[in-house]
Structure formats: structure tokens, C-alpha cells
Amino acid sequence: MKKARKSRVSSAAVSLLYGTPTEEGTQAIYYVVTPYDKKGREIPSSVNCAYNSEYYSYDSILPTAQAL
């Protein structure tokens, strides 16, 4: 088995993106998590994703982002 590598991430920022309004007047909010290393540089990753607020609460995004 391979040994798990230590994460390079030292901090992360969460940005909010707003979707287009629906006929009901509601708007989906997307949380975009951006990881940073110790020097404050963004870590390019193939795991960049936006979490939809209809499926994820703000409190459940942190553990999900830490698992990535």
C-alpha cells in the first residue's frame, strides 16, 4: 500500500457565486473552495469544484473540502 502524502494546503478561501434567479425568485448559491499553500499561493488542482447550496449546507462544506 502507498503511504498517504502530507497535504500542501495550509489555508483555504471560500468564495460565493450566485446563480440566475428562478421563476420562484430563489437563487442558488455556489461555494467555491480555493486551497493555498504556506506562502499564500493558490494550489492548482484538478479537484476545483463548486458546492451547490441546495445540496450542501455551509457547515458541511468544510469537512468535505478537508477530505479533498
Residue 17 has pLDDT above 80, yes or no: yes
- Long-range pairs, 11-20, Cβ under 8 A, ≥24: 11/35, 11/36, 11/40, 12/36, 12/65, 14/61, 17/50
Q: So what's the pLDDT on residue 22?
A: 75
Residue 16 — very low, low, confident or very high, per pLDDT cuts 50/70/90?
confident
Q: Model-level pTM?
A: 0.65
Give the C-alpha separation, 43 to 61, whole Å. 18
